A and B are shown apart, each in its own frame.
Chain A
Amino acid sequence: MAFAFPDLKRPQYPSSPEVLLSALAWSVVPRAPGHNETGLIYQRKESRAKRGVTIEQTMPRGQGLEAFRASLQSNGWTAVTGGDLPKVVAEAAVDAMLGVKPPKGVGYASSAIGLAGALLQDPIGGLATKNPPNFANLLNTMHALGGSAEGQTAASRWFDVARYYSATRELKALEDALAGTTLKNFLREGVWPPNSPQVAKASVPEPAPSWWQASVVSAGVGTPFSWFHSSWNRLCSPEWYTILPPRRWAGWAVCVLRNAIGFTFLWEANFFLELARGIADHERDPTTVARWALSPTRPLVPYQRGGIAQMDVMPSIRRLLTQGLACRKAIIEAAGELSDEPNDLASLVEALRTANPKSIKTALGGGGDKGGLPNLIETVRYSLLARSALDTPDHHALLKVVSRNYTHVAPAPEWIVVMSAMAATGPSDAVRLGDVQRSLEDIGFKPRIDFLLGELERAGLCASASDGDEGIEINLGFGRK
């Protein structure tokens, strides 16, 4: 049997990041038969989809709006002044569900709050393509690679939270109205309201390789997977979701998913590149090669000060992904040809040194198969990049386009809040600068302590501390003590 690597589905990034939550949602809520081919998007734009792709807008408009209004009324929404519920109320409710508006793409996603809110779009509609990547499988696999799942997946954890919000007084009528009108044709009969997640087979996570369990999970090595696993579990715990309003929770969840995806593929590229270098350089200790492959020694996204061109992160991201992808293909191919399966990464390095395949040297030299590279670069870039219109700003991005041609690290106001919150075990727990730094190091982002402090101060998160450095306390501002 060939040496197994973490099996991550090849990505393609949706223009609206809320589609990631929607992918999780549709992986645990069954679709009506015959409607699997139709893509959903909350608000359709003028632009055309690819040939053969049918996309439907789920935002109630025209007659649909009237049906939605009536449904809202029958579900308990009435004006205090009496009479029929004014149409303007339905219009306002529909607008309130709109998410971040990206400049590109075939439409705008909803903000993906609650259960029905997240079902208002799907990957086909979000990417306007017939065969989008299985994001639910990717996210569930990343979650499983990060630690013990105890029978839970990223999607099932999301379901618990969405169901909680869906039952709240403010959302229940709205959710029922959406499920009874615009979503009615797409939900399997009798499925609404769903009481438990019905996991789609295709979204079941890929099993982690045995060496991964021993050398990474059990050894507590910090990776984007472990960060995603702990952050997602924390965010999906009652401590957090009971104090966060639904839209804020959805915003934070999308932020966690975007960073997890962006940094996971950077980490993967670095992992294969380091392995390839270690295989090519016979003088390096295989154990060190394995350690450096698992824990990047340099930041995956460089955060530095300097001239506008110097601060551009895209050249280094592009270079890393290009080299990493070529090395990935070469190593997987070469490992598949080994007669004996190595026990761990260090043994793999030794075995491949002995086999000495040409393809790895070719990949290191800039050659080799780079199929799928544009999608990979776009996925990483757009996962982390701010994309928004003035009326719906993207508060959760890490990168920003500056002066058209350059992409800089410029954390949006909520990004650092989410990252700090995910470094704390709960809203009322003490979290210090060292905790945030460590958490960011796990995903491979290693900002200088003064840069990090600057971002925390800008967001008003730093409570003054008499002893500095890693001991500086962060005040998240969320109570519940």
Chain B
Amino acid sequence: MNSNPWSSEDAKVLAGLPVAGGTAQETSFQKLQKRAFGGEDVAARPGAEDDEWWPKGPLLPGVQELTRDFVTGIESPESLHLVFLLGGAGNGKSFAARSLGKELGLAASASDALAHRIYKATRNGVRIELLNDATIAPSADYQSRQPVALACDIQRWWGESAVSPVAAFCCVNRGIVIDELRSLSEQGHDIEVFARAILAWLASPESDAAGQLGTSLEEAKLVLGEHYHELRFNLGGRSVRISAMSVDARSLLDIDGDQSRAGMLFQQIVGRCRDDALARPADCPIRANVQQWLPPNTILGWENILAHAEIASGRLHSYRDVWGLAALSILGPRFAVTDGSQSLLDHVDRCLHKARNGSSPKDRLDALLELSQFRMHNALFRSPIPSGGDALPFYPPTTPAHLGLSLVDPSAWGSMDSHAVEVAMQSVALGGMPSESLIGSGLLDNAWFGFDKYLEQAIVEYVGSDDCSDRVRRRLVSWFGGYLTRLVGVSTGRLGNLAVVTQWKLCREACVNGVGKLPLEFEKAIRSLVFPQHDDVPPDRILVPAFAARVEPLQASRDGASPRLAEIIPHNSINLQVRQQGSRLVLECTLTGHAEVIGQLVLDFSLVREALACRGRRAGQTESTAHVEPRIERCRASSLSAVPAIQRRLVVISGGSPVELN
């Protein structure tokens, strides 16, 4: 192992600590840490620009066109032009608003560190306002109408537009719209129909805002895709244009050209960290992380992990999540300081020092195990770290993203390469290095670095020594098998539950134009779930208890001893189709020859898994069955109730074949 090539002063510089006689410059790692667990502020302030270091993620398609349209609209203004960017926190709404503010010359006062709800200006006789609804409405301005602050602002703009043109650009969380509508329905708050209709339209664009306002709609000026809606009308002699765009309607992992928006951002972040990382010792896990992500093709692998996690959790990552995941992929998880260190790098350096100069193989190994939590694959999949004398698992802190990542962990759920890793691990018994065969077969391409090598050496050395008890040996070997499986998974892109994610992607491709048919084999599996077969009934029919509280199919004549009244219902006229609704897929049931949807089922990761567990028209079992079954039952009940009565037959099951009734 290398001797320590770093002086304590060098370490302080890298860790960003003050050095005697000078002020340390902020390192890229320290910068990145600032956004590891969320944004720096609740809302970006106009005029408070980031410094040059910070890379910028591309805006959602359409946002730039929308802001440009807002600016050009000032030249030939409508009486009232309102633009709403809708979406959850951390999706770049206020970032877009800040760019717009810069373009309009709006700036917060330099001495004012707080983000305000509204920034105002006047251009070309138009009163312009930038509104960020994430910022609490000041009670002094809104008083008792604080719970309906946005409605209040819309009402005010409508009133002011009678005097001079008003243009407002608003960043709004959809949850706030729902909250305000709720407050409005509970108490009047003197909010008139105009603001109410606009809020209702923001919550559900299908709502008839024009009808409520007693006007008719004109053609939209902009067409920017499904995530954009526009209302244009003339009311009381005033021209009104309302635009609304959902900034979180599409995944940041959707490939746009060669890369996704998240990938583009991550590549820039890796580039910013490059020099600092390469200046680190060869056995540093953070250096290994950055080295791993430096080749451009590995960014695709990173995008692949995040995309799979999104599908598994059913939750789209926001830019805020992406920043957190970027930090996790480079710096590792949050950690508890127990050694008096003052920063991440200080802690890493202390561990490295111990790993090199520890008094025993166990001490050296413990230091490397502690460092292993910072290695990207362990951090992303939240791998437990063996700790203490018994090598008991210690779990690093979790993040919301782990909900999805844990479902695609190749070590927990098995991958196509698990067997190869298992075979490679056999060599540990003979004192060999498992990585050798994996590197030879190309399974660790671009994934094996100095830190991994030192860790492997230390583990093989320690488990081969007499100091290591059998129990600890088993735990360490098992853990290192998981370590390699995850590393191989990241390298090859073959993650856990790959078949489920692939199937879900196939379904999404099938409905890329809105609605589509399910892949043939998968449709059979879904049918087995929704309409399970009975032993004594033709395969295109389902047998359900008559007048039962729930439509839980009978599957064998032996179900119950007493005579049972049941219904045989044909389901061959019920067709399945899949529809894309924003970021999610919905399975829809229709009757042949009818467009009406008679049953719905959200097609998510759990349902796909459940369907893939079906074997030959028999429903399988997964650990999610208890969660998935109720919604399958509701869809079944709703769909079957639409089958015409003339096609249904009552039967009695009594210890054998059904007795059919006329």
Contacts and interface: CB of A to CB of B under 8 A. Distances in A.
A243 B589 CA distance: 14
A244 B547 CA distance: 11
A79 to B, nearest CB: 6
A-B pairs with lowest CB-CB distance, top 4: A460-B631, A467-B88, A464-B314, A469-B175
Give the interface size class of chain A: 35 or more
Nearest to A476: B634
Contact of B630 (A89, A96, A413, A479): A413
Interface stretch (A41-49, A80-88, A280-288, A331-339): A80-88
A222 B86 CA distance: 29
Given A89-B661, A245-B547, A477-B634, 13 more contacts: A80-B660, A92-B654, A170-B650, A247-B549, A248-B551, A435-B178, A438-B186, A464-B315, A466-B583, A467-B173, A477-B600, A479-B598, A479-B638
Contacts of B548: 96, 247
A243 B549 contact: no
A450 B94 CA distance: 27
Given A222-B186, A466-B88, A477-B635, A78 B661 contact: yes
6 contacts: A89-B661, A91-B563, A92-B564, A96-B565, A461-B631, A468-B175
A414 B552 CA distance: 14
Contacts of A76: 662
A434 interface: yes
Contacts of B88: 466-468, 471
B25 interface: no
Interface string A322-342: 000000000000000000000
B108 to A, nearest CB: 26
Contacts of A81: 659-660
Given A86-B659, A463-B584, A471 B652 contact: no
Interface string B605-638: 0000000000000000000001111111011011
Nearest to B316: A466
A97 interface: yes
A480 B661 contact: no
A96 B549 CA distance: 10
B390 interface: no
Most-contacted residue by chain A among B549, B551, B661 (CB, 10 A): B549
Interface in A359-404: 395
B547 A243 contact: no
B631 A88 contact: no
Nearest to A458: B627
A478 B564 CA distance: 27
A139 to B, nearest CB: 21
Nearest to A250: B549
A95 B646 contact: no
B630 A417 contact: yes
B562 A95 contact: yes
B639 interface: yes
Given A247-B549, A475-B602, A467 B641 contact: no
B271 to A, nearest CB: 29
A463 B174 contact: no
A141 to B, nearest CB: 24
A471 B659 contact: no
B424 interface: no
Contacts of A413: 630
B627 A478 contact: no
Interface string A84-119: 011011011101110000000000000101000000
Interface of B, helix, strand, loop or mixed by DSSP? mixed
A457 B316 CA distance: 17
A113 B661 contact: no
A95 B565 contact: yes
A358 interface: no
B386 to A, nearest CB: 32
A464 B567 CA distance: 34
A77 interface: yes
Given A79-B661, A478-B634, A466 B645 contact: no
A397 to B, nearest CB: 13
B303 interface: no
B573 to A, nearest CB: 15
Contacts of A480: 596-598, 638
A234 to B, nearest CB: 16
A88 B659 contact: yes
B586 interface: yes
A113 B586 CA distance: 32
A146 to B, nearest CB: 15
B604 interface: yes
B599 A477 contact: yes
B574 to A, nearest CB: 11
Given A248-B550, A471-B177, A93 B599 contact: no
Interface in A440-481: 457-461, 463-464, 466-471, 475-481
Contacts of A251: 549
B564 A460 contact: no
Contacts of A248: 549-551, 637
A79 B632 CA distance: 32
B230 interface: no
Contacts of A258: none
B359 interface: no
A246 interface: yes
A220 interface: yes
Most-contacted residue by chain B among A170, A222, A428 (CB, 10 A): A170
Contacts of B646: 169
Contacts of B547: 96-97, 111, 113, 245-247
A313 B551 CA distance: 32
A481 to B, nearest CB: 5
B546 interface: yes
B196 to A, nearest CB: 14
B182 interface: yes
Most-contacted residue by chain B among A81, A222, A467 (CB, 10 A): A467
B266 to A, nearest CB: 20
A481 B87 CA distance: 26
Contacts of A89: 563, 565, 652, 659, 661
A432 interface: yes
A168 interface: yes
Nearest to A252: B549
A251 B186 CA distance: 30
B105 interface: no
B642 interface: yes
Contacts of B640: 245
Contacts of A247: 547-549
Given A92-B654, A467-B173, A479-B599, A460 B563 contact: no
B406 to A, nearest CB: 16
B320 to A, nearest CB: 12
Contacts of B661: 77-80, 85, 89
A39 B218 CA distance: 66
Given A417-B630, A478-B600, A470 B549 contact: no
B638 A470 contact: no
Contact of A467 (B87, B545, B549, B565): B87
Given A243-B638, A438-B182, A477-B601, A169 B645 contact: yes
A268 B318 CA distance: 46
B226 to A, nearest CB: 14
Given A96-B545, A467-B173, A477 B631 contact: yes
Contacts of A77: 650, 661-662
Given A395-B550, A460-B630, A477-B631, A467 B174 contact: yes
A459 B659 contact: no
A174 to B, nearest CB: 9
B546 A170 contact: yes
Contacts of B177: 471
A471 B175 contact: yes
Most-contacted residue by chain A among B316, B604, B662 (CB, 10 A): B662
Nearest to A459: B630
B175 A434 contact: yes
B215 interface: no
